[in-house]
Chain A
Amino acid sequence: MANDVVQGPDFPERDYARPEVNYLNWKQTVSSWLLSQDHKRIGIMYLVSISIFFVVGGLFAIMFRLELLTPEGDLLQADTYNKFFTLHGVVMIFFFLIPSIPAVLGNFLIPLMIGAKDVAFPKLNLASWYIFMVGGTIGVIIILVGGVDTGWTFYTPLSTSYSNTHVFLAAMLVFITGFSSILTGLNFLVTIHKMRAPGMTWFRLPLFIWAHYATSVIQVLGTPVVAITVFLVGVERIWGVGIFDPALGGDPVLFQHMFWFYSHPAVYIMILPGMGVISEVIACFSRNRVFGYEFVAFSSVAIAIIGFLVWGHHMYVSGQAMYSNLVFSLLTMLVAVPSAIKMFNWTSTLYRGNVVWETPMIYAIGFIGLFAIGGGTGLFLGATGMDVPLHDTYFVVSHFHYVMVGGMVMAYLAGIHFYWPKITGKMYSQPIAKLCAVLVFVGFNCTFFPQFLVGWLGMPRRYHSYHPDFQVLNVMSTLGASILGIGFVIPVFYLGWSLFYGKDAGSNPWGARGLEWEVCTSPPDPHNFHEIPVVTKEAYAYTGEETLSV
Chain B
Amino acid sequence: MSSAEAKADRSPYLAHHFESIEQQEESCTLGMWLFLAQEVMFFGGLFMAYAVYRYMYPDAWLEGSGALSIKIGGINTVVLLVSSFSMAMGVYYCQIGNSKNLFRALLVTLFLGFVFVAIKLKFEYFPKFAEGLFPGDGWGPHGHYADLASFGDQGALQIFFFLYFVMTGMHAFHMLIGFVILVVLMVMTKQNKFGPQRFMPILFFGLYWHFVDIVWVFIFPMFYLVT
Contacts and interface: CB of A to CB of B under 8 A. Distances in A.
B38 to A, nearest CB: 5
A96 B147 CA distance: 53
A229 B52 CA distance: 14
A189 B34 contact: yes
A243 B41 contact: no
A249 B159 contact: yes
SS class, residues of chain A in contact with chain B: helix
Contacts of B143: none
B163 to A, nearest CB: 7
A468 interface: no
B156 A193 contact: no
Interface string A223-256: 1110111001001000111110001111100100
Interface in A263-312: none
A239 B135 contact: yes
Interface in A405-460: none
Interface stretch (A4-12, A117-125, A334-342, A387-395): A117-125
Contacts of B31: 120-121, 186-187, 190
B27 A120 contact: yes
Interface stretch (B43-51, B67-75, B176-184): B43-51
Interface string B126-164: 000000000111010000000000000101101100110
Contacts of A189: 30, 34
Contacts of A258: 45, 48-49
Contacts of A229: 45
Contacts of A254: 49, 52
Contacts of B41: 220-222, 224-225
Given A224-B39, A254-B49, A532-B19, A248 B136 contact: no
Interface residues of A, number: 40
Interface residues of B, number: 38
A320 B63 CA distance: 29
Given A120-B27, A194-B26, A243 B39 contact: no
B156 A249 contact: yes
A122 B52 contact: no
Nearest to A219: B38
Contacts of A248: 135, 155-156, 158-159
Contacts of B123: none
Contacts of B111: none
A126 interface: no
Contact of B49 (A116, A120, A232, A247): A232
Contacts of B15: 122
A221 B135 contact: no
Interface string A463-482: 00000000000000000000
A421 B127 CA distance: 66
B122 interface: no
Contacts of A117: 16-17
A193 B33 CA distance: 13
Contacts of B153: 249
B30 A235 contact: no
Contacts of A50: none
B121 interface: no
B38 A241 contact: no
A69 interface: no
B137 A240 contact: yes
Contacts of A195: 17, 23, 27
Interface in A170-184: 182
14 contacts: A118-B16, A187-B31, A189-B30, A195-B17, A220-B37, A224-B38, A225-B45, A232-B45, A241-B139, A242-B162, A243-B53, A249-B156, A251-B56, A258-B49
Interface of B: 15-17, 19, 23, 26-27, 30-31, 34-35, 37-39, 41-46, 48-49, 52-53, 56-57, 135-137, 139, 153, 155-156, 158-159, 162-163, 166
Closest 5 CB pairs of A and B: A248-B155, A224-B42, A228-B45, A118-B17, A117-B17
